[in-house]
Structure 1
Amino acid sequence: MKIIKYILQLLVLASIAGACKKDEAKPVADIFYKVNIVDKTVTFTNETKGAVSYKWDFGDGTSSTETSPVHTYPEKGKYVPTLYATTQDGSVAEGSTVIYIAKTSPVKLDDNSLADWDEVKDYEIVSGAGETFFKRAKFDYDAQYIYVYLEMASKAANADIFDFYLDTDNNAGTGLVTDIPEGGYDVLLEGAILDGWFDVFNHKGAQNEFSFDPTGVTEFYTVGTKVETGGILKFEMRLNRSKIKGLSATKAFRVGIIATKGDWSATLGRIPDAGKPSLLINFE
């Protein structure tokens, strides 16, 4: 009996010893980092715990051993950066994320200024001598929004109505054909923007039919700074691309704007000028 007891004790001790060895797993670093993207430059802020060294694979064929590197990507696109963190005893943990490098815009709607529009030069329309209402329009974009700047001979109290004709697929073979050349207009945005209403309509039916269905979409636009001086009204706004049919997936779109008096009694002006093609904005 004593021999059996002794053997059992050895087995228990061996079992305990084996369990201890299994529990002695090497500690692994707790991966955590933040990313901040400005244009093509990404700042990686590394807050990983338990590591003594790091290696970053930025997902574009380059790497770094800095703790919190700043990296500029070569072009727009989707990238998967990975952080490898090594502990004191040589254990390696890794953590990846997906980032999208896309065009950014200098336009800020909450800065109480229109000065940032001075940096926007790619998509600008200056009206000709025959256009007496609109003076200038500018457009910019990023992955989420389309930014619009309008300058005109008016004042906010007039509650002018604006009709934005959007060829959201850049295909003249779909959408309404109007007197705004080189587009088939899939979406109409209409309303007195500075009087607090603006609606989205999608075209239906034949291309020669002015037939638009209300979509009921809300919160698709935001108005920023507006300035009135010397009989000239300037204001900025942005359109949410994901809320407007076709604007999230398209590679390019066209836009033309017609302004009408707040009581619908007369057309005030248009931009681009009458007879001129709508403005093509190329997201690529």
Structure 2
Amino acid sequence: MMADTLPAVRGKLTADAPLAPLVWFKAGGNADWLFEPADVEDLAGFLAALDPQVPVMGLGLGSNLIVRDRGVPGVVVRLGKTFGRVDPVDEVTLSCGGGASGILVSSTARDAGIAGLEFLRSIPGTVGGFVRMNGGAYGREVKDILVDCDVVLRSGEQRTLALADLGYSYRHSDLPEQAIVVAARFAGHPGEPQAIQAEMDRISESREASQPLRTRTGGSTFKNPEGARAWELVDAAGCRGLSRGGAQVSEKHTNFLINTGEATAADIEALGEDVRARVKAHAGVELEWEIKRVGRT
């Protein structure tokens, strides 16, 4: 796909763009094209004019993601600063850009005296990502706070979707695969900033104590099966510290895979499959990936 076959944009288009620096695992191949739109209209116009056969994928902070070593075909869309605003709408509601981080959303909620959004402090991603996957932690999920969201469909059409339109279930939504979430509204309830900060501190300390946050990791690897915890199943199957190439199951939290330094994306994905096979053999449970794996196989 040559540059002269792509629609004109006001944002930034980069050919053969390395994605490893943009994802938490720091591994994987390049995107055929990386598009950082100037604004929503730039994104919508580009998608409307782009050949419908060209695949499109959104990229947030790259936390729950394995980018395969042979790269990602088509166009990867990354929302920049234009999409990073978070503003109070009323006493209990925030309007958030699709590129805003969970930390920024929760901190803005605290400053506005809006409680109930503290758990977003612990989700290592952007609004666009955790709206798509119904991100959650500490007993709360995006479905508990979402009012509605603005998306740009692969056709370039802009739509506002209500909570009921998203078909949320555990770590899943019915959003069309190539749609890009560009904004969302979240609602909480009135609270005292000091109490909100105390809850955010509690969550932060809990994560620090239990998760390998200072490593090259991808966050929670597998979904919790019904009535069980993925990390307990992985541990019971003898996978703590298990390795393949430069990838390893974390000693600190067994539902985290880590890149010890030189892991390829293939190492990380294959290690995950090793873990799934061991858990299936030990407990008869088929673990489902929570981390999204993208790119050419």
Same fold (TM over 0.5): no
Larger relative contact order (Cα-Cα within 8 Å, sequence gap ≥ 6): 2
Structure with the larger helix share? 2
With the shorter chain as reference, the TM-score category is under 0.3
Q: Structure 2 length normalisation: TM-score?
A: 0.24
